[in-house]
Structure 1
Amino acid sequence: MEIDITFSCQCGAFVDETITCDGPDVDPENDPASLRDYWETISCEGCGKDYDTHIVCTLSDTNIFVPNVVDLNFDVHKLFEQEDVVSEIESTRQLDVYRKVSTDVISLLRHPHPAEVQATLNNMLFAQVVTATEAYLSSSFISTVVNDDALIRRLVETDPELAKRQFSLREIFTQWEDLKRLVARYLRDLIFHDLKKVKPMYLFVLDIDFGDVAWLFKAIIVRHDCVHRNGFDKDGNQQKIESGAIIELVKQCTHLVAEIEEQLIARRET
């Protein structure tokens, strides 16, 4: 399963981390309650403090415990199913999907709406633009890498988490036959909704530099408030998202997507 964890550090910084774990023990012979727990370390980028995070999973519930933090929130997502992974490998429509979403957002902004619903609508549209961009970045990276043996090797050599995974001699042959699905599943579980990991992966594996995307990191934080706090930040202040700001975000995201797409096309044609 994939768990999005957010909280405020003692230094005042906002921490947003995604953790992947295997979830509860599905074999009742091991534990009738199917309980399984995990320990992860989450670091605050503001002050560098490490937080020991305790994850407790059962078939009916998942709980997260992080001591000495403020405003702890978490969302649990099931890992992508096998058919989703196969679709990710074979997909060639990432750009079309992004274009459709961004076009729909602009159309909705231009459509007249009652003033009293505009703030709620803008929250949803802002979040949709960020999500569509993240989905493009994630899916394009996965489909490009897993269909190129040289890129899979570069990924393994440059990604510390994937490189340290161990297999028995018997498992090596099984995993080799299913290598594309293994890598695609790992990438989906790891980088979806986590731009901090996507940006360096594009650079180290595909030689694609996003440049300065501080605006996108900021938009991701605002998106979090739109989705999880109904448009309010952790201090209770409402995010006032104007239609013009959404249009500008669409322009910035579209420019980033176009630059990446151009380089991916050039790679395929070489």
Structure 2
Amino acid sequence: AVCELDLKWLISAGWTDDFDDLEEKHAGATQPLRHARQSLSELSALVSSAPENPVLVRMCYSGIITVMEAYLADIFIRAVKHPSVKRRFVESYEAFQNSSKKPLSEVFNLLDSLDKTIETALLSLSFHHIPTVKQLYQECLLVSFPPNILNDIARSVIIRHDIVHRNGRDKKGKHHLIECHHVNQLEELMHV
């Protein structure tokens, strides 16, 4: 027998969080992954539209690292909402390990503010800093990244930093020559 549930009133009341995982399962990808793929596709199309424009090519290269950073942050922040991951994060995050000791009478105040403390800490992190991301993902999500990919991404992050903060030049003033194929290689690396 077919059973059909009318959930319109729940959805219209804003109770959609409970159904996000079902929607993602049906779609075959998380919302952050779909956003990242869409952004990478748009950057690829943009760079292909004007491969002779060096400023645009550099900005697209930089944009790919920004997409990666947003994706890594979205996935991690979302995962930390689960109690077991939250616990691993609180127990392993270095800034939390060095905090001052409080009397036991303060435990409930600390628990009441824990989510806000975690949120503040996560929003202050740079998810393009590869050593930080590697450590957080390994300790909290039990995910390891292939070292060769991390090395390539780390080099690309440095180039992105030079593009954003030095108009495409390194610390010695040498200009990074970023061409369309470099953008395409970086985009392919993000899909690995």
Alignment-derived partner of residue 65 in structure 2: 130
For residue 166 of structure 1, report the CA deviation from its aligned partner.
Answer: 3.1
Name the TM-score, length of structure 2 as normaliser. 0.76
Secondary structure of 2:125 counterpart: helix
Choose from 139, 156, 166 the match for 2:90. Answer: 156
Q: Report which of the two has the higher share of helix.
A: 2
Letter in 2 for 1:197: T
Letter in 2 for 1:101: S
Matched, 1:251 2:188: yes
Alignment-derived partner of residue 40 in structure 2: 102
- Give yes or no for contact 2:43–2:60 (8 Å, CA) kept in 1: yes
Alignment-derived partner of residue 110 in structure 2: 175
- Give yes or no for contact 2:60–2:183 (8 Å, CA) kept in 1: yes
Where structure 2 has 5 or more consecutive residues not aligned to the other structure, the ranges are 1-19, 21-29
Matched, 1:221 2:155: no
- Give yes or no for contact 2:48–2:180 (8 Å, CA) kept in 1: no
Where structure 1 has 5 or more consecutive residues not aligned to the other structure, the ranges are 1-89, 256-270
- Higher relative contact order (CA closer than 8 Å, sequence separation 6+): 2
Q: Report which of the two has the higher share of strand.
A: 1
For residue 93 of structure 1, report the CA deviation from its aligned partner.
Answer: 3.0
Q: How far apart in 2 are the matches of 1:143 and 1:208?
A: 15
Q: How far apart in 1 are the matches of 2:101 and 2:32?
A: 33
Letter in 1 for 2:42: D
Name the TM-score, length of structure 1 as normaliser. 0.55
Alignment-derived partner of residue 168 in structure 2: 231
Letter in 2 for 1:105: L
Letter in 2 for 1:229: R
Q: How far apart in 1 are the matches of 2:107 and 2:126?
A: 25
For residue 109 of structure 1, report the CA deviation from its aligned partner.
Answer: 1.7
Identity score, percent: 28
Cα displacement string for residues 107-161 of structure 1 (whole angstroms, at most 9, x for unaligned residues): 1122146x3xx1111110011000110111122111101x211112112222222
Q: 1:1-270 alignment to 2 at 5 Å?
A: 93-112=31-50, 115=52, 118-145=53-80, 147-166=81-100, 168-169=102-103, 171-212=106-147, 213-255=150-192
Cα displacement string for residues 195-229 of structure 1 (whole angstroms, at most 9, x for unaligned residues): 22111110111110011110000000000110011
RMSD between aligned residues: 2.0
Q: How far apart in 1 are the matches of 2:168 and 2:69?
A: 20
For residue 191 of structure 1, report the CA deviation from its aligned partner.
Answer: 3.7
For residue 167 of structure 1, report the CA deviation from its aligned partner.
Answer: 5.9
